[in-house]
Structure 1
Amino acid sequence: MHIALLEDETEQARNVQALLAEHKHDCDYFTTGHAFLAAVNHKSFDLLILDWQVPDISGIEVLKHVRRQIEWPIPVLFLTQRDSEADIVRALDGGADDYLSKPARPSELIARIGALGRRSNPESDKEILAFGPFRIYTQTRQVSLHGEVLALTDKDFDLALYLFRNQGRLLTRDLLLERVWGVSREINTRTVDTHMSRLRRRLGIKPENGFRIKTIYQRGYRLEAVDAAGEPAALPEAGTYDIGQPA
């Protein structure tokens, strides 16, 4: 996972960063709330870790900004010295998903992060995913629209699966290169643009089918649920299935 950490003590931040790296997680740390929010608004992270007491904006205020500004339910873990029952309740009621008091035991921190990751993507082990009129068959690597199997390349399928699993989330070109292509800027980001343009056509991503791929200027893309007029809509009810294949 790509994790953003808010921690004003540099040594502690580097220790957490090193621990996460040992467990194959990338971590960017920030020592002020303003820097943290600027990064979260312009980059894609899978999970946020917040300290409560930082110099400029408290962690609880940062959490409020995140829940107002980020349109997908990104997991948030508090990691702080404040450990009163009132503080824990305030953080959880404010939108935090978990809470750990410092000093956290390394194994417990990693376990909590893993649990949050699984909770944010509960459909990751399902064989068939349903998104409105779309069905994604993870075992046979097929996508159908209104029951008709679409002609997709392997990379088309990987990109479609990642988009639908992260609908509503801003996906930067760099993140897509890493998660779908498995590279870090070793190929031109225009590769992403070319594939995204082609995927729109091949998938039939348009308002009549309940979705659009929105281009976010100089940042990336976001798959959004829309109504037939192209206006933002509630996410189509999604379902998951464990058996069956497209007709």
Structure 2
Amino acid sequence: MRIAVLDNDRSQADLICQVLTGAGHSCLSFDNGKELLAHLRKESADLLIMDWQVNDLPAAEVLRRAKEKMAANAPTMFLAGSSAEDDIVAGVTAGADDYLIKPVRRGELVARVSAVLRRAYPSQNGSEQLQFGPYVFETRPGRLLMDGEVIDVTHKEFYLALLFFRNIGRPLSRAYIHESVWVRETAVPSRTMDTHVSRVRNKLQLRPENGFRLVPVYSYGYRLEKLGI
């Protein structure tokens, strides 16, 4: 899905895009309302996420004008501070479909965006099939195949493997992996993550001869590398 993110803090917008890109979406970030609206005149978006504190234009106006340029069923979400009750009321009144409280938590962001998109685009909720070399991920049944043969993986192993493949070549921090795979589990021992990573590496045979290598990044996390063979 194509997602547009508007936040006065460009680093925050870029972080949101990084998380959503890792979840399989196409994402563009903007730091002012005029820039966002100019983009929407040329290319629409399937979802808009916007800060309710916009510098250059009133947030309600940005939302109204953005909705005019998007499909009728395209949902909108807004970002509000933890104590900004007036912003929450104003955003909902202006027609936003959902909101997130800042600072945004990665796991919650992915879950809430997925829920909003499922409601807005029910016809697209079938199984998604993603292929990376010999590996095929079927997202709805959570099935993983290698060279046409089903690999026996647990639910978390499936989504951990998919997270790595969606971020090939990108170092993923332990915190990011935790928030993406163990969304609602606040205390996950370090050895639990390491065990799951080891199982993914072994079950998927992530070795150079198969074109991929899953390696630790010292004092940071892990990275899946695609090798030229």
TM-score scaled by structure 2?
Answer: 0.52
1:195-206 to structure 2, matched below 5 A, reads 195-206=196-207
| Matched letter for residue 217 of structure 1 | Y
Corresponding position: 1:7 with 2:9: yes
Q: How many residues align?
A: 161
Look up the match of 1:137: 138
1:46 is paired with a residue whose SS is: helix
Q: Shift of the alpha carbon at 1:170?
A: 2.9
Structure-2 change in CA distance of 1:47 and 1:102 (3 Å)? farther
Q: Report runs of 4+ in structure 1 exceeding 6 Å deviation.
A: none
Structure 2 distance, partners of 1:124, 1:45, is 23
| Matched letter for residue 111 of structure 1 | T
Structure-2 change in CA distance of 1:112 and 1:170 (3 Å)? farther
1:143 is paired with a residue whose SS is: strand
Look up the match of 2:190: 189
1:53-92 to structure 2, matched below 5 A, reads 75-80=27-32
Q: Shift of the alpha carbon at 1:151?
A: 2.0
| Matched letter for residue 225 of structure 1 | K
1:1-247 to structure 2, matched below 5 A, reads 7=9, 45-46=18-19, 75-80=27-32, 102-105=57-60, 107=63, 108=66, 111=76, 126-183=127-184, 185-228=186-229
Structure-2 change in CA distance of 1:6 and 1:191 (3 Å)? farther
2:29 is paired with a residue whose SS is: strand
Structure 2 distance, partners of 1:216, 1:224, is 11
Alpha carbons 1:79, 1:102 under 8 Å: kept = no
Alpha carbons 2:17, 2:27 under 8 Å: kept = no
| Matched letter for residue 75 of structure 1 | C
Structure-2 change in CA distance of 1:193 and 1:5 (3 Å)? farther
Structure 2 distance, partners of 1:44, 1:192, is 24
**Structure 1 stretches of 5 or more lacking a match?**
9-27, 31-35, 49-71, 93-97, 229-247
Look up the match of 1:68: none
| Matched letter for residue 166 of structure 1 | N
Structure 1 distance, partners of 2:173, 2:212, is 19
